[in-house]
Amino acid sequence: METKTIGIPRALFYYYLFPLWDVFFRELGYQVILAPTTDKRMVDLGIQKAVDEVCYPVKIYYGHVASLLDKVDYLFLPRLISIQRKSYICPKFMGLPDMIRANFSRLPAVIEHTFDGSRRKQGIKYDLEQLGLKLGHEPGAVKRACVKGLIALEEYQKALKQGQNPMTVLDSVKLVCREKRFKVGLLGHGYNIYDPYASMNIIEKLGKLGVETVTAENIDEKAVDQAAKVLPKRLFWTLGHRIVGSAFHLEQSEDIAGIIHVASFGCGPDSMVAELLERFLRRNGQKPFLSLTIDEHTGEAGLDTRLEAFVDMIARRKIS
Amino acid sequence: MKVTFPHMGNLSLTAETLLRGIGLEVVVPPPCTKKTLSLGVQHSPEFACLPLKINLGNYLEAYEQGADTALMVGGIGPCRIGYYGAIQQEILRDLGIKMNLIVLEPPDAHPRELWDKIKHLKQVSWRQVVAAIKLTWHKTRSMDLLEEKALILRAKEAKKGSIDSLLSQARTRLQSTDSIPRIKEITRDYLALMDDVALSEEFRPVKIVLVGEIYTVLEPFVNLNLEKHLNSLGVEVLRPLFLSSWINEHLLGGLLNIEGTKRAPGLAKPYLNSFVGGHGRETIGSAVQYAQKGVDGVIQIAPLTCMPEIVAHSVLPSVTEEYGIPALTLYVDEQTGEAGLLTRLEAFVDMIRYRQRRSS
């Protein structure tokens, strides 16, 4: 039998779940085709296809879908309702397959599947198994693919907790930091800070300025949960919770010189998260805080200036 | 304890009746004005959606009039309203304002959470609470019935303002009565009075369904009198969302026979196959429902950056293409101007009339 190909966009939850999808589908005998790294052409395609008000990362996702159109047998469009108990990611993730279908007139065969871990103890494992069965594979093979996929995901997450960057692990991007001056926490939705095009290489830029970065994915989940307890109410967005908890945790870490938050323009969770960070960090007044908002109109020079100013400010504080 | 609440269309009639009925001292915030907006905008996160800002403005204005507690509804995600209360409380704290926000929402950790809040608020016997709830329900429902009729008739009235003056008279009467039979009487009378209003002769109505996020649909201050503008352009406005239909669907489990958006989640398939928070799925389902009833167009309204409505907006073309009707999506924020809105409405209605002429 000929091997079928499955296209996966290198966007949105790529930086969180790709090892799982990759191993799962390969175990079931598919060939996984990953969209190329984001570039201007893809972004332009995404902007054309999406309604204006959609946030930048979702427009980028549209661009990735466009780039896969004629290259694959199947397109994998998961509907991620929740990957954690009693938490959501964002409404747009819940409607994403419908949005794609409404905005693309011709698509390859779509593999759509709902992942809702909000009410199950074992998280999304159940839904993953259902997906395998739905695709017509036999239960034994599906179970094996599931287990292997989840192990791959666990190993990936372990590597991140040990301080690796998702860009290095997934895309073998070499991140160099010349003359390490200090470390800052770089917080934001993964698809905003790891996608080199969307983030305008923010990690590399900081590296060139002599700044090492720690991201939310590097921090132990227990520490995140613990630090987030300061909040008056539990945040019901998985990533928002992780960002806030990481910020409060890093605020207490001796070796962190400052905190940067990267938000998407028009992002619902980010608008609230940024406000919480600003209020709490300012009240305590322990660490310098920089809040950046990016979208398709953000100019690189403006970003450079703000990063340089922030880094200079930290350097001056260190001297005085 | 002096309690206040945010404005949302006719919510003040409902909230005042209920809160007084359970024995609380109530401060109704001044009606939303530019001042409310600028107070709210000044202290709110820039990228938060508009309701958060105006709600905060309401609280601050009510605080000036002596309120020390604000009541609001919340949620448990994924829509931002679930975190409004927490953010607003932090803002008030940083402003040095001693005001307590009580958020009524499904419990997160323990089922007692909501119960404790209600017990804390209740100052009278349970019998009186039940009576207050009944009275509140009847007032809310009659106001909505009157408004629903006005949204149709106002488009055709011969003398401008006749329907509006009846509506505001009815509202004042409803506000001051405490008897359910009297409420029913007022409703009957005013529905009849509206039917008697002289209508213009040479009239060919355009029917438009108004869908979208509940706050922007219900509050004329934020939608810049959208419905009145449409009516004055000769448009009959059909609206599935009313406060009473929301209460019926969300608090009474859809027990009462009110159409509202009950069927919307089912009708939203296959266009939108999942709950997306807020009223996103209801927007799509209602568009389908009214398209099937033969409306001439769909208008969707939402606060700028509203996540559920952006999903609905992205999916809406697949509905309107299938039914061959046009749709207009409007986002409002503190920068939206009434003149700009009016121009877009005029263009939209002109286009519909042109289509009608061409097809006849």
B214 shares its domain with B332: yes
Angle (CA) B351 B357 B359, round 5°: 100
Q: Amino acid letter at B233?
A: L
Residue B131 belongs to some domain of the structure: no
CA-nearest residue to A263 within chain B is B47
Angle (CA) A171 A173 A179, round 5°: 155
pTM of the model: 0.94
Does the pLDDT at position B88 exceed 80?
yes
Contact between A276 and B87 using a beta-carbon 8 Å cutoff:
yes
Contact between B87 and A272 using a beta-carbon 8 Å cutoff:
yes
A54 shares its domain with A77: yes
3-state class (DSSP) for residue A32 = strand
Residue B82 belongs to some domain of the structure: yes
Contact between B48 and A271 using a beta-carbon 8 Å cutoff:
yes
pLDDT of res. B86: 93
Give B113's contacts in chain A (Cβ within 8 Å).
none
Residue B111 belongs to some domain of the structure: yes
Phi, psi values for residue A298, rounded to 5° = -65, 130
3-state class (DSSP) for residue B22 = coil
A280 shares its domain with A151: no
Residue B208 belongs to some domain of the structure: yes
B88 shares its domain with B143: no
Cα–Cα distance, A210 to A223 (Å, whole number): 27
What residues 240-269 of chain A have any CB closer than 8 A to a CB of chain B? Answer: 263, 265-269
Q: What is the domain range of residue B32?
A: 2-124
A186 shares its domain with A305: yes
Nearest residue to A213 (alpha-carbon basis) of A270, A248, A164, A273: A164
Q: Which of B273, B311, B317 is closest, CB to CB, to A91?
A: B311
A217 shares its domain with A245: yes
Mean pLDDT, range B136-153, rounded to an integer = 96
B94 shares its domain with B193: no
Contact between B305 and A271 using a beta-carbon 8 Å cutoff:
yes
Percent of chain B predicted with pLDDT > 70: 100
CATH of the domain at A150: 3.40.50.11890
Other beta carbons less than 10 A from residue B199's beta carbon: 13
CA-nearest residue to B280 within chain A is A91
A228 shares its domain with A100: no
A129 shares its domain with A197: no
A154 shares its domain with A171: no
- When divided into structural domains, chain B yields a total of 3
Last residue of a domain, one of A161, A185, A214: A161
CATH of the domain at A315: 3.40.50
pLDDT of res. B76: 86
Phi, psi values for residue A72, rounded to 5° = -135, 160
Last residue of a domain, one of A130, A161, A192: A161
Judge contact between B116 and B108, C-beta under 8 A.
no
B290 shares its domain with B310: yes
B165 shares its domain with B284: no
B217 shares its domain with B186: no
B144 shares its domain with B238: no
ipTM value of the model? Answer: 0.93
Residue B130 belongs to some domain of the structure: no
Tell me, yes or no, if B115 comes closer than 8 A to chain A by beta carbon.
no
Sheet architecture: strand order including B327-332: B235-238, B206-212, B297-303, B327-332
A60 shares its domain with A182: no
B212 shares its domain with B327: yes
Tell me, yes or no, if B47 comes closer than 8 A to chain A by beta carbon.
yes
Give mean pLDDT in consecutive 10-residue pieces for chain A, a chain of 320 residues. 90 95 96 96 95 94 95 95 88 95 93 86 85 94 95 96 93 85 95 95 94 95 94 93 96 95 93 94 92 92 96 88
Here the tokens at position B47 are 């990228």
B67 shares its domain with B113: yes
Judge contact between A106 and A70, C-beta under 8 A.
no
Judge contact between A107 and B296, C-beta under 8 A.
no
Q: What is the domain range of residue A72?
A: 5-161
- When divided into structural domains, chain A yields a total of 2
Tell me, yes or no, if A235 comes closer than 8 A to chain B by beta carbon.
yes
Contact between B77 and A266 using a beta-carbon 8 Å cutoff:
no
Query: For B247-280, what is each residue's pLDDT tens digit?
Result: 998 888 888 888 888 899 999 999 999 999 889 9
DSSP labels for B49-95?
A: -HHHHHHHHHHHHHHHTT--EEEEE--SSSSTHHHHHHHHHHHHHHT
A33: enclosing H helix or E strand: strand A31-34
| Crossing angle for the helix pair B307-323 and B280-292, to the nearest 10 degrees | 20
A170 shares its domain with A156: no
pLDDT of res. A175: 85
User: In which band, very low, low, confident or very high, does the pLDDT at B41 lie, cut at 50, 70 and 90?
Assistant: very high
Contacts of A82 (CB under 8 A, 6+ apart): A88, A89, A115, A116, A117, A118, A238
DSSP labels for A66-111?
A: HHHTTT-SEEEEEEEEESSTT-B--HHHHHHHHHHHHH-S--SEEE
pLDDT of res. A243: 96
Last residue of a domain, one of A138, A161, A184: A161
pLDDT of res. A1: 62
Cα–Cα distance, B235 to B229 (Å, whole number): 9
Judge contact between B33 and B60, C-beta under 8 A.
no
B98 shares its domain with B115: yes
Residue B79 belongs to some domain of the structure: yes
B36 shares its domain with B76: yes
